[in-house]
């Protein structure tokens, strides 16, 4: 991190995330996750959905478009996204490393699916995260159809 101002500012942001209630964190991170989604990954999901013949094809296209991400099929209604590394720019640039930030990834993945499939199409749960000490991030997606 080369900018001392950003290091200080995000240090305060990280402390705030750690001290927020779950509801307060959601109020902050949901719009951030949606903005992040619209910056790039939502387009991968939209294109994959528009070109897919079925759910398996949709998921395969997402996996192909998101280099490094593995999608484990659990059953017809559930999959697990496995991220081998943290892709969040706030973390990779050295600004935030608290595991509370990982809720943003959960909201982001949900926003990506909703961009393609519509509102209330999935729920997403964090199973484990790199910032929480795991070797990979695992997010369980449940399709609501």
pLDDT at 1: 54
What is d(CA 92, CA 102) in angstroms, rounded to the nearest whole number? Answer: 13
Q: What is the pLDDT of residue 3?
A: 86
Count up the domains in the chain and report the number. Answer: 1
Q: Identify which of 12, 10, 139, 25 has the alpha carbon closest to the alpha carbon of residue 86.
A: 139
pTM: 0.95
What residues contact 53, with CB distance under 8 A and at least 6 apart?
none
Q: pLDDT per residue over 8-38, tens digit each? A: 999 999 999 999 999 999 999 999 999 999 9
- Residue range(s) defining the domain that contains residue 71: 4-143
CATH number at 9 reads 3.30.1380
Q: Are 114 and 122 in contact (CB under 8 A)?
A: yes
Residue ranges for the chain with pLDDT beneath 50? none
């Amino acid at each position: 991190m080369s900018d001392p101002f950003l290091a200080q500012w995000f240090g305060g942001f990280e402390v705030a995330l750690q001290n927020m209630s779950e509801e307060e964190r959601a109020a902050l991170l949901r719009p951030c996750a949606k903005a992040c989604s619209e910056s790039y990954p939502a387009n991968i999901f939209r294109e994959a959905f528009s070109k897919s013949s079925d759910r398996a094809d949709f998921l395969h296209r997402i996996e192909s478009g998101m280099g490094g991400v593995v999608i484990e099929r659990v059953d017809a209604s559930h999959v697990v996204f496995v991220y081998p590394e943290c892709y969040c720019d706030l973390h990779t640039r050295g600004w935030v490393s608290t595991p509370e930030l990982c809720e943003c990834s959960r909201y982001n993945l949900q926003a990506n699916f909703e961009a393609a499939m519509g509102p209330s199409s999935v729920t997403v749960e964090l199973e484990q995260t790199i910032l929480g000490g795991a070797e990979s991030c695992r997010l369980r997606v449940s399709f609501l159809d």
